[in-house]
Structure 1
Amino acid sequence: MKCPNCGNELEEGKLLCEHCGEEVKIVPDFDIELEDKLKESINDMLQDMAAEELLLNDSHQDPENKSANDVTNDPSAYFPTESSSVRKLRILIIALMLVVLAVVIAIFTMHSINEQRYHSFDYQYQKAITCAAENDYLNAINYMERALAIRPADLEVRLLLAEYSEKSGQQEKTVALLEEILDMGTEYPKREMVYDKLLKIYESEKKYIKMDSLLKQCDIPHIVFRYNQYMALKPEFNKQGGVYNETLSITIKGNALGTVYYTLDRTVPTIDSTVYETPILLESGDYVIKAIFVNAYGIESEAVTQHYVINRSAPDGPVVKPESGTYAEPVLITALYDAETSVYYTTDGSTPDRSSIRYRDPIEMPYGVSNFAFITYDASGLCSKVVNRSYQLGVQANFDAELALQVLRNSLWASGKLLDADGNLPNKPGSNQYKIKTLYQTEKTIYYIVYEECFDAAGNVYETNEIYAIDVNTADLFKAYKADEGVYHLQSLE
């Protein structure tokens, strides 16, 4: 069918031309059967009138003079002798009946046109748009619902209906329509807008569980990224479960701000389980880690399970020499270990770890009592058992340690470096203290090796890098310079 205004082709059922906007008036085909019935009724009426006239004439004629050929089907044959007034009356009646018939046909036709127009998609859709433009959203909803009933698969109509419902305060209906659009329109080009609108409604109503569920089925990256904080995805492990020949440090993280909970006893974790805060060290054996993530809105993820088998044997501890004991002359402490491992130690007997002092060179045995602890780590982080050593280093001397230190302080006081024999400083607050660290032996004698420490007014303590040597038998004083572990160069203070 073509538009009567512009001549362009129209789609079937369209009442508005998409090219010129002209309303198309469609006159339905007249019912031929009805027309035939009307004609038949008029003809019967005329025949009845003719029959009455015939009977009237027969009443004035001689029956013997009447023949069968006198009867005819032509109605006009029965009115040859009727008066002019009667004839006019009959014509008037027939004309009136034809007018009534025409009016009935016209009313029927207009009613059919209006019915067809009223039930058309275009009519309902345009009425809805017009009402919405006038902010009459209730009527806009009514018209758009009728349009949707005609085209139930039209997602654009559903979206407009959702918009009108939202503006009229019908939030529940709005949500239902938006959900229907997402269920029906996997290829709908406005899905991102629908997701965004629906998620904003859920957000305003604090329906975080619904947000999490909707986001997990969303395949639009922009939307997932924008609302990521509302999702509770399975926590991620830095290492997948499996068999390993090395120590593992397992980290677990969630997809957003929140908390990870885990178990190591094969039970499903809950919010009462251990909170993940630092990496989990797997050294050797069989481990099953189960974890969940709970986001900042209290939404809990599904549990993730990782099974690890660590086939590693601990490295041997270092071979430390000398053995524990009492010593009367300087000794260097050494540790022998595999080149692919590292050794760490402490000097107070506490258990060492990788944050402790790393052993690299022989250690001077401290003067007095000392307690060492050594441990070995391999490249994978597996450690050995701790090796402990206890030493006592002393010397037979004419000047014991305290007397030798007093001689040193008096000498420095006399030279003006100290304010008094207690070690106070002459030019600034604070004092110097002196501590025997070890012994140094030459071919002729043994020396106390003394380190100078400064105690400033703020309470800080630090070494001054001044080292002195005192002959244990003569108390002769020397300035000492360390060349290597256990090796010093001496210079007289005289």
Structure 2
Amino acid sequence: MKCRYCKAEIPEGELYCKKCGREVQIVPDYNPLEEMLTAQIQLDGNEQESELDQYINQKRRNNNRTGQSAGRNTGSTGRGAGRNTGRSASRTAANTTGRRMTVNTTGQMLTEKERRKRQSARAARKKALRRKRRIVLLIMAAIVVLAGAGFYVVYQNSYNGIMKKAQKATQSKDYTTAEAYYKQAISKNTKKADAYTGLADVYLSQDKTDEGTTLFEEAVSKQSGNVELYKACMDFYLKSDQNMKIPELLDSVSDSMLEKLNDYVVDEPKFSLEDSTTYDDVQKLLLTADKDTIYYTTDGTDPDLTSTKYTSEGIQISEGETTIKAIAVNKKGVPSSISKKVYTVEFPVEDAPAVSPSTGQYEEAVQIEVKVPEGYTAYYTTDGTDPTTASTKYTGPIDMPKGETLFKVVLVNGKGRMSGITTRNYMYDNQ
């Protein structure tokens, strides 16, 4: 580094130029924290600086008085000569004291002792500054550590922290601990669905399906507007093979909520036949559902995913009364509500059966014959009572009994429907 005044080389660390005696100007990098601390140190050193300035000013006054006295003793009458003599005397006095003088950047004369005092003061200030820096850094580090520890404690007791511990316990199959953590998380935030899901899964892993079901059903009953909780409940139904509970749950929600749960809403299958009329012949019923699978029953029981799977061949509705119940199930396994129709098919019933011979009195043996159409069975009586399916079954011609006989016969089809009754009154006397 070179002196800005005399261009002489200045060794590293020197504060004054040895050639011209001027102070070296060092411009440090700007640091807001350092500036703040330096200002504080400067305030602390004001008192010491004041004493040093007083000493320097006193030396100046002494030098000036010495110069003036020497000028007067020469007897010079000229002001210029007096000043020259004063300067000479001042320099002589300075040299005789044995103290070397230096000049700072402001032109002030400093002795070697004064210069060292200033250097010592600056060194002390720098040392104090470094010490304060270390203290500030230590304080900042302590704050960071304490903040981190505080955050960790807060996180561990927060909803997310508790959930993380619950999930970890679940993964390690420590279900007792996991159950406790999930319950704690629910108490922290009753609206978060994932805590209910986690606890229900723990129940499911222990074959406690009923407890998981109760957990969700109680929760949704208290939070009828919690969409995520409803979704979590229905997902649990799917996982626990309780699919048919989904449409039951959806039946209890409002229309606005139903729109938000649209992914779980499946339209009922459509029937090709109405059940408001009675059919007189066998019918073929077709069911349709948009891209969904249909399951149905014909015995009046509620269908589920184990019931008969519908095919494009349709369902045959035979004579009599038939109850068809059907559901549509989407790809996720979500079923629709049950759609039900009751069909009635009644075949036309034959008129009263034809019987021969006709009513009359007979003297010779005669057989009674009944014409039975295909698909029917004939039942008869000979004592005048109306025949039923519990009466004597007609299997072929019957010998006419002796005496008076009131013969009655009826036809019954495969569905138990009876025709009208045919009555004949016979009198057989073979004398």
What TM-score bracket applies, with the shorter chain setting the length? Answer: 0.3 to 0.5
Higher helix share: 2
Report the TM-score when normalising by structure 2: 0.45
Query: Quick check: which has more Rg, 1 or 2?
Result: 2
- The answer to which structure has the higher strand fraction is 1
